[in-house]
Each structure stands twice: as structure tokens, then as C-alpha cells.
Structure 1
Amino acid sequence: MSTTPEFQISYGNLPNATPSTHASSDAPLYAAIDAMVAPLSSEEYAFIARDSGERHVLSHHVLQSLDQCREFRSIDEHVARVTAVVPGLTQQDRIRKGLEGLASTGLLISDQDYLNRLERSVETEPRSLHAIYIRACDRPEQLQTLLDSLANYERKFRVARPIVLLDDSVEEKNRDRNRDQLREFARAVGNPVSYVGPAERGKLRQRLAKAVPHAATSLEWLLERGPRTRRGGGGRSWNIALLLSAGRMFALLDEDFRFPLHRHADTRPGMDPNPASAASARFYRRLDDALDAGEAEEQDPFEEHLAVCGNRLGATITQADYRIDRESLRGINLGRLEHLRGDSRILYSLNGTCGSSGAESALWLYQLDAESRAEFWADRDAYLRNIEAQSLWYGWLRAKPATQAYFSPFLFDNREMLPCTNPDGRGEDGLASAATQYCHPGSLVMHLPSAIGHAQESSRKRSDVTMAPLTPRFNHFLRDYVSNQVGGAKAHDPRRRMNLLGELTADLAHSDTATMAASLNEYLGFVRADIVERLQNQFELLPDAPVYWQADVRQIVRNNGNALLKQGAPRLADWSEGIDEQGCADAAREELLDMAQAWRDWPAIWDAARGQGERLIGGL
């Protein structure tokens, strides 16, 4: 081990302190590298860098000083921090020299060196879009609006991308209308189109079952409505898109989306590295105002997303629109940037939303940033309108990488196996993203600073759901369970990881009733306690908030707190109101077993689909 030069004075224990000095923005920023620490004696410690494995021997007071330099700040700011927490210490020059020594040995990394380590050369192999998939379900008027707006884009950019309509409509008359609209789109615009309805889903299932006979039961559940279908959901069409595009990249739209994409006037170039930064919201009186908010994208949105999706992070940040500015690192603890690695592949890219919110609840509106919050509660009439989240712009003002997505992506990199999701119920997108992180650890999703129009068939009253105790759906429960397993698998092959995830899910399913009920109760307690804590913190930080906002926050906290203390059946939102504890355990067990078997069968199913390529959709 190398022995790092140490300061000439012991600092003692260094509690948190905020430096009073704020250096010029031109000054380099430094942060202590992440490391494992092991005591060698009462005064010496082994300091082992996590990224390189390089080892150093540090004295106790040098280690304490490094602990105060975790955030990216200038040397002057670090000196001020150390000085501020050690009474009577005035030897700032000696402290500065010691910190500069730590920087020279690499224990403090500069902002520019950190960014240089992230960057990777641009890949020369071009990425292309296999098709645009559209999920439809009994809303032909919304589909017509989407196709009309998509036709304008295809004409504007003189492209004719393949369109695949995944029609999960229950009513035959709606399927007929959807099919006719797709044909008219093809005649008017010239795009090649394919229609996948019940008959085509049946053919797809039979074809894949012939190739993978042991997965026949899973295929029926994953792809078709049938006796085992519990409730509606977009997961069936999601799974079909993954199979028809296996080995390629694709885009996914819902029938109530519409083009063009918009950027808010406040958006700006660059990438936001801070994992704690939240999306922004802007509010409007009418839905049409929200749909037209900001400026329409002038670039082809599919090509813009292709520049990011499927790329490595280190290559993406070399593009002018996605560079990480040095100053944006200021104040961020280096340990919180572990998800940013140059080799990390971006498997999903996402847009924000302008128009109607896609969420059932509007709890997220009570945790907005200051600027968004000012619009949200501007006056009582605006507040009462805005809590329904029916007319807004919601998205990121700069590109934002993350480890998981909580709503549907726009582009998918399905060149390597992406996992299937639950065909039943809402929340299939977040579940799929959690499973992706499990199978492809270190992969990323990228939120772009654009928003796609979203106009539902009718206004929805979200405030009732918002005020009621938070009751997640089954897919939310399973999503969070999967997220807690991330990092446990050691295999490199995502197929082995997928199989292990199935085994872990089956293990939970085979627990006894008491254990299953305890797991559900623990989960409900956690999510409700979390929202209580978050909103209480917001309440305390905003003593001058309008009284109507305060009253609603109190009510939400009270309702969730009462539910947290109440003993009863651990019911998830998908299950009936009168269900008892045994019924909850049985319902969870049944759904977990289906999902476990599907995850175990999926690698063979996906490989069979990839092997058939274009012949798979051509034969439907």
C-alpha cells in the first residue's frame, strides 16, 4: 500500500458543517473518491478505492478530513468546511496543502477528471428503428387522432416507418374501426402497417409454443386474454412488442398519445447528473393549452431518441446536447453518482407529458420543486383545478439519466433480451423496468427534455385517490420486491439472471399464509410511512404555504397514518374491498406463481422469437 502524505495536525471528529466560502465558478471542484476502509491500528486505516482497487494507508485525521470532502466543491470550500468544524484551527494554508496533496494522489478527484473518466468514443455502428408499435384498447377516437398527428410527422420528415397496431380491444366494433383506420393511414401516408388482434395473437402464441413447447402455458397468459386474465392492462401488448421486435429497437405509443412533441420554454441543453433532482410541472387552465405548451420539436423525435437509446452513457455525453456541465456537479456527493458509468448502456428513453397526467393519483404534486409549486397553488381556484392533473406539462428541463423508469418508455433497446412484464393490471411499465435493472445491472433509462401529448377520452377525478390512504397495486408491490433483489445475482448472462428472478419470485409465492400476509403488511406499512414522512417534511419546510394546501397535506398525512395503524387485511388496490387476510395471501400467491413461471420461460421464448425475425410478424 502507498502511504498518503498526511496533515501535521489532528482534526478530531468532524461533524457536518456548511462552508461560508463560495469560490468562483471557474475554480475546479473536487470530491473524495468512494472507497472501502478497514482499520489497521488505532491511528491508521487501509483505504481501498472501489473503482481501481488502489490502496493507501491513511491516518485517522486524514480519513476524517476526506469524509468532509465527499461533495464536489472547490478546494477553498473544502478548506472552509474543515476549518469551520474544528474550533480554534487557523492554519488554512497547511490544510489547503494537505488537500492538494490528496488531490495529487487521486483521493480527491477533480470535476474534469471525473467527466473525462466517463467519456467513451462514439460507436460507429448505426442504430435503426425496427417499427413503431401502438397499443390500442377500445378508444378508436383517440387512435384516429394519434394516427393523424403521426402522419403529419412522417410526411414532414419524409420517412415511412413500419407501424404495428397491437389491438387489445374487447369490443369487436372497436377492433373493426381500428383496423379500418390503420388501413386508411397506410393508403394516405404510405407506411407499411401490420395489425395484431385476437386472431393474430393466437397465431403468434401457437407459433412460439411450437418452438418452445414447455412454455405453452406461460405464452397463453402473457399474450392472450383468456380464463386466467384477471384485469385489463397494457402488459399483453408490451410483451407482444418485445417478441415481434426481438433483437432490434422499437418505439411504443399508446392510442391516447399525440404528436408533435413539445419542449417547455424553460428547458435547456445538457444533462442533469443529480439523482435527487425532480421533474418539473407547469399548469394550464385548459387541456388544449397544455397540449400546445412550449415549442414543438423541430427535429425528428425518433431520430433524436435513437441518438440516445441504445448508446453508452460515456458516448452520449460527448454530444453537444447532452454534455454534463462541471458546475452541475457542485454539491453532489460522489457516492450518489455510482449509477453514472461510461460503459452503462441506455436501454430505454422517455418523454414527459403535456396534457393529461398518466398517473391515477396526484400525490406527486405535493412534492414539487419551488417553481412548479408556485404555479400549482397560485390561488385557490387554480389549486382546485390543478389537483386533478388534467392540464399540465410534466417533464425534465434537462436530459436526466436514471436506473429505473416508472412510466412507459418511448424507445426500447431490445437488441439484448428485455424481460417480459405482467399482462394484468396497471404498473406494468415500472415492473418491467425493475426487472430490466435486475437482468442488466448498471443499465440506464434516459428522460429527455421533451413531452408527448396525452389526451384521455374524458376528464378524470384524481383528488379522491390522492386523499385516500395510499394503496399500491400488485405490480407496484412486485416492482419494489424486484428492486430490492437488484445486486444479489452474480451471473453475467441476463438469461440466468431472469431465471433466478423467477426462482426468487416463486420462493415468495410458496411462503405460508402468515409469511405472505406479513410481507404484504410490511410493504403497505413502508409505502404509507414513507408518504407520511415526505409530506410532514414538506409541511415543516413550507410554513407560509396557502392554508388550502396545508389542509390537504394534513388530511393526506392523517389518512395514511390512520391506515398505517389500522389492523386489517393487507389488501392491494387490484383486489376486492371485502377480501380477508387469507384471500390476500392467496391472490398474491397466484399472481406471483404466474409471474415466476413466465420469467423462467421468457429467455427461451425471446430467443425463439429473435431466431424467427421478420418471419414472425409476416406469418400473422
Structure 2
Amino acid sequence: MTEKNNGINYSWNFSQGSTVANAARQVQGLWAFDNCVVFPLPRRRLLLKSKRTDKRVVITAEVFQILQLCRQFRTLEEHVALVKKMNPALAERQAEISQIFNKFIEQGFMISAKDLVASLQYKGRAAHQTPLFGILVRTCDRPKQLARLVKSLAENEFHHGRRYRYLVVDDSRNSENIAENQALVRQISKDHGLDIHYHGREAQQKLIATLSGAFPEHQGIIQWLLGDHEEDTRFSGGRLWNYMLLLTAGKRFLTIDDDMICQPRLAPGHQNSLQISEKQRDVHFFLDRADLLEKTSLSTIDPIEQSSEVLGYSIEKAIHHFSAVKLQEQTFKDLGSDQVETLHADSKILLTQCGVFGDPGTVSTNWIYELEGEARAQLVASLETYESLRASRHLWLGSSSLHFSPTTSLLSTLTGFDNQEMLPCTSPYFRNEDHLFGILVKALYPNSLALEFPWGLLHFPEPERTWSQEALDRPENVGVLGFLADVANNSMGNCYANDCSQRLTFLAETYLGLADANEGVLEAGIEENLIHARVGKINHLQAQLDTYGNQPSYWANDVKRLLLAGSNALVNREERLIPDVAASNERTAQVALVRTTLRQFGSALKVWPRLWNFCKDDIKD
């Protein structure tokens, strides 16, 4: 039974001996258990407080365990089936489980996808967009691939009869490659009439000098964010990110890497549908480049136009713009209820991107062991196929439908940035600068969205890359920037400011505070974060083995190799905490590197709003 006491609903106890006289009524549509704050009470009871409605209810721990499995939008029948699968002891009690769901629907603790559909209907609100600044081409010592990309951009313009502006932002260190890139830009402009400009070291140093003159007290930070330190051999891909974000302050722009080809192809299994979810990207394998080109279809869309036309729109206006797709309950299939509170009609599309055909750009192949559905079936079809595909870097990675994502995971492809309001900087050094940037975008703008299109561009780096199977014997690792990203994810839940500059300052102070921690505390924090990542990977892999016990032994044996590597790393204290340094470096040197990066990046975040606003107001195109 249910009783009320002081305005709080007390749910009946789902105990082993309870019975239900009448079968629960069937409720249609997709539902998800509300995102609640949980307070423990005596006698294995819990007080739940809805973050969305502020409603409260007291339930038993047993009922809460059932509801915890139902945080994604599914039909009630699917929820019941999942509960029975995860807890076989409840297999004969379907009517009682259904009654729990119906009860919580009545009390307002289950969210209806139908209500979300209504909340995102277009209301005719105006949207302001600045003109597209241009397409920024990132290049670094790959003149032949740059020439291939620029030629494909010229062909795209000719095919669609449109004109765009291009800026080749050169990070090359080889003088011959720099000269070749400059000559290419001049020649392509002359031969094809492209509005294309070269932004090499001279242009970049000019911006650094201007900013240093305006902010002499921050010259060291400006040099760290943007400077070209020839003597520094560390990966410095983030340096160009920061330069581009200041160059385009207050504007919308696209970026593309030099080893891409601007030739759009439809996603395998392309669907004329709409999704709002956190689903993993779709994967489809090909034997080689020839197989990929033969089995995929060219698209007639202009990738530049589509990547930019809704960039900066609210989600309601973006959905209205794509009139061929319909917003319906299935749109929210598998969306987590924790994302609902940040999903509003005015949630902005700050990033757009397409998928990748060819090399996915990932360092490790270990993610293929967590594939589902058709991708898994394709991978393990036979031993010969498996051995070929697990080392292959010829695949499709993207979305088969128009996909709005509450989280940001960037690919090295054609990407749109709405920099009309301040986007954050990233670290100029170390890999995963794009991952850190995506995490910071969400930290500053928790209601923002990324939009993925159901088509992709070719990513054919030269020479072709391969995946090493030695990775199966290496445990999960977290680099310097992965650690900074995890700190941001873990800390921003305690930031209640709405203003993006205040949120950035909060994060900056978090990094600076951590940089001031004593040696033991910081080392323990880095190590515990690494252990957490490895435990998460082990749990995922073990779940794969448990769920897919009927898969071929060659697949299972590789998963077991990964599990063994991860398990050994948990029980044995390793000297190496981060993969960004040589294995011979002692822990003290590794901790010192992380500390320095925390201090430099925290200081840069505090200065970034001033630099960005200066560029927006005082730097002309």
C-alpha cells in the first residue's frame, strides 16, 4: 500500500512474499526512471528526490535496484525483460514488476518520451547566426595529402556551384614542406579560383605579438598556448586549435585535417530518421580501400553547406530545418534520464561533424571488442575474417541517422564550431587535445549538443597505418590530458554558475588547486584515476564475455588477453603512471609533469576570456 506523511509518498515494500491481485495495466510509449538524488534511511529504505520535479518518495532498496536498471528510454516491456535478465530470481514476478513501473508513472517518477517530443516542438523563435568565417585546413608536414584535399575542395565547389573561403593553417616544421604548401596555395588559387589563404608561422607569430603587446603581463601564458617551440619535440596539435579559436572569436567556422578527402559518402544502412541519445557510433568493416569505395555510395549533399547551415541553431530550430525527418518517441530510444534536465528547446548546436570512411584515427583497436549487433557479427564471422578485420583500418565510424548527442566525442573529420560565444582553449601539448576540448565545451555549456550527420568523408592517410596486436597485452592507460579531462568531469558537478566565464574560472581554480597539492596527494590522485579507468575497462570486457559466451573462441581469447593485462596491472604497482613520457622516467618526474601541466593550463583558462574577447573585438579578418 501507499500512504502519505508530511507530503512525502511512501511506496509499498516489494518483498519476497508480496502478491499482486490484478495484472498491471499496459502503458504505451518509451519511459525512463527519473534522475533522482538518493538519501539513505533506516531499515534499507531510501528517500528519492526528483531533480526534475522536486517530488519525493520513500522506497525499499530492493525496488530501487529495479529502477536503477531503467534509466534509459525503453518500452515498459523492454524494461521488464531487462530486469528479469539481470535478476533471474524475479523471472516469475512480471506482474509485480509491471505494477512497480505503473505506480511510479502515476507518481511522476517515470519520464515519458512523449512529453519530450512536445517540449522540443518548434515555436518559431528567431535564431541569430553570423556568416561562416571559413574552412580552416590543419596541416603539418604532409604536402602531398594537403594537395589531394585542396583538389577535392575545388571539385566540391565546382560540383555544387558554391564559393567558400579557406585558410590553410600550417604547423609544418620542415622548411621544404612549408615552401611546398605555400606554392600549392598560390597555384590552386590561380588554377581553380579558390578563395584560399596561407596562415603559416609568420601569421601565427603576428597574432602572438599582438596579444603579447596587449597583455604583456600574460606573455608567458600566450607563448605557452600559441608559441611554436622548435626545440620541443612533444606532440603539439592543440597549439593550432588555440590559434584557430582566437582567429575565429565571435564567428562560426569549420575545420578539416589535411589527410581527409572532401568526397561525401552515405553511411552504410543510412536512415532518414532522427536520434537524440548517447549511443555509440556505428561501425562497418571493409577489407581494404578498394572494397570500401566499391561498397559505399556517393552522396549528393554539399558537406560544407550541411555542416554549417544549422551550426549555432537551437535544437528545436535545427529539427524544424530538417523537415524530412520526424521528431517522435523513438527519437529518444536509449537516451539516459540524467541527460533530460540539460535537454531544452533552446539547447544550442555548438559542434557538428560527419563520420569517417577509412582510418578511424584511433590509437588502439581495443574498442572493437565492445561492438554490438551487426558490427560484432561481421567481425567474428570466421577466423580468416576476424584476423583480417581486427588489424584493418578500413571501416565506417559514424551515425546512420541524424544524431543529436548530449556528449561530445570529436573525430578527425569535417567539424563545425559555433564560436559566436566563447569556446574554451585546449592544451597545446600531448595527445587527446580534442577529447579535452570536447569535455571543456560541455563543462562550459552543459545544455549544448553536438550534431552528427549520416554521411562521412574519406580519411586515407599516407602511408596506410596498421594496428598492432601487441596492444592486447597492454592495460588501459590515461594520458596527461585524459587526467585533466577526468578532473573536469568529476568536478563540474559542484559548479552551479550559469555564466560560461564563471564556469571556466571554477575549473581553472580546480586545476590550480590540484597543482598545489603535495606530492603524495597528487600522485595518489593520478594513480587512483588510472585504476578507475582500468577497472571500468575490465568490467566492460567481462560483461562482454558474460553476455556473448557463445562467440567464437578466437574472439574470446583476445578479450581474455585484454582482461589479463588489465588485471595484472591492478595488482602490481607500476612505475609508469602516464604514457606521455618515456617508460624510464621515475614517478616523481611523471607527477612533476602533470603538476606543471595543471598549473599552466589552469593559468591559461583564467586568461582565456580576455584573449578571446580581445580577438573578437579588435582582430579583423
Q: Same fold (TM over 0.5)?
A: yes
- Find 1:213's aligned residue among 213, 216, 223: 216
What letter matches 1:346 in structure 2?
A: I
In structure 2, distance between residues paired with 1:493 and 1:88: 49
In structure 2, distance between residues paired with 1:496 and 1:380: 55
Q: Report the Cα offset of residue 146 of structure 1.
A: 0.5
Deviations 1:511-530 (A, max 9, x none): 22222221221122122222
What letter matches 2:411 in structure 1?
A: F
Deviations 1:552-586 (A, max 9, x none): 21112112221222213243111011011111111
1:490 and 1:205, CA in 2 relative to 1: closer, same or farther beyond 3 A?
A: same
Contact 1:291 1:355 in 2 (8 A): no
Match in the other structure for 1:113: 115
Contact 2:576 2:583 in 1 (8 A): no
Deviates more, 1:110-119 or 1:137-146: 110-119
Match in the other structure for 1:376: 379
Contact 2:249 2:612 in 1 (8 A): yes
What letter matches 2:52 in structure 1?
A: D
Match in the other structure for 1:362: 365
Q: Report the Cα offset of residue 491 of structure 1.
A: 2.4
Deviations 1:34-70 (A, max 9, x none): 455789999x9997653344x5788999x98995986
Match in the other structure for 2:182: 179
Q: Report the Cα offset of residue 290 of structure 1.
A: 2.5
Structure 2 gap ranges (5+) = 18-22
Match in the other structure for 1:457: 462
Q: Report the Cα offset of residue 14 of structure 1.
A: 8.6
Report the TM-score when normalising by structure 1.
0.86
What letter matches 1:177 in structure 2?
A: E
Match in the other structure for 2:239: 236
Contact 1:287 1:356 in 2 (8 A): no
In structure 2, distance between residues paired with 1:553 and 1:145: 39
Contact 1:14 1:85 in 2 (8 A): no
Secondary structure class of the residue paired with 1:295: coil
- What is the identity percentage for the equivalent residue pairs of Structure 1 and Structure 2? 26
Deviations 1:496-538 (A, max 9, x none): 2222222211111222222222122112212222222211211
- Find 1:167's aligned residue among 154, 165, 170: 170
Aligned-residue CA RMSD in angstroms? 3.8
In structure 2, distance between residues paired with 1:285 and 1:57: 55
1:450 and 1:3, CA in 2 relative to 1: closer, same or farther beyond 3 A?
A: farther
In structure 1, distance between residues paired with 2:223 and 2:83: 63
1:459 and 1:119, CA in 2 relative to 1: closer, same or farther beyond 3 A?
A: same
Q: Report the Cα offset of residue 151 of structure 1.
A: 0.8
Q: Report the Cα offset of residue 464 of structure 1.
A: 3.9
Contact 2:249 2:422 in 1 (8 A): yes
1:30 and 1:444, CA in 2 relative to 1: closer, same or farther beyond 3 A?
A: closer
In structure 1, distance between residues paired with 2:539 and 2:59: 39
Contact 1:229 1:424 in 2 (8 A): no
Secondary structure class of the residue paired with 2:583: coil
Q: Report the Cα offset of residue 75 of structure 1.
A: 7.4
Q: Which residues in structure 2 correspond to 1:54-453 (within 5 Å)?
A: 55=55, 67=67, 72=73, 99=102, 109-125=111-127, 127=129, 128-226=131-229, 229-275=232-278, 277-291=279-293, 293-318=295-320, 319-321=322-324, 323-329=326-332, 334-335=337-338, 337-400=340-403, 401-408=405-412, 410-453=415-458
In structure 2, distance between residues paired with 1:330 and 1:204: 46
1:489 and 1:290, CA in 2 relative to 1: closer, same or farther beyond 3 A?
A: same
In structure 2, distance between residues paired with 1:466 and 1:46: 45
What letter matches 2:281 in structure 1?
A: A
1:407 and 1:482, CA in 2 relative to 1: closer, same or farther beyond 3 A?
A: farther
Q: Report the Cα offset of residue 71 of structure 1.
A: 6.1
Tell me whether 1:487 sits opposite 2:493 in the alignment: yes
1:465 and 1:486, CA in 2 relative to 1: closer, same or farther beyond 3 A?
A: farther
Secondary structure class of the residue paired with 1:317: helix
Contact 2:351 2:418 in 1 (8 A): yes
Contact 1:438 1:487 in 2 (8 A): no
In structure 1, distance between residues paired with 2:96 and 2:581: 66
Secondary structure class of the residue paired with 1:415: coil
Deviates more, 1:452-461 or 1:266-275: 266-275
Deviations 1:396-442 (A, max 9, x none): 11233132224346100100111111111221100011111122222
What letter matches 2:608 in structure 1?
A: W
What letter matches 2:185 in structure 1?
A: L
Q: Report the Cα offset of residue 109 of structure 1.
A: 4.9
Report the TM-score when normalising by structure 2.
0.86
Match in the other structure for 1:545: 551
Contact 2:277 2:334 in 1 (8 A): no
- Find 2:615's aligned residue among 571, 593, 609: 609
Tell me whether 1:466 sits opposite 2:471 in the alignment: yes
1:60 and 1:514, CA in 2 relative to 1: closer, same or farther beyond 3 A?
A: closer
In structure 1, distance between residues paired with 2:337 and 2:25: 19
Deviates more, 1:64-73 or 1:516-525: 64-73
What letter matches 1:287 in structure 2?
A: R
In structure 2, distance between residues paired with 1:23 and 1:397: 35
Deviates more, 1:422-431 or 1:323-332: 323-332
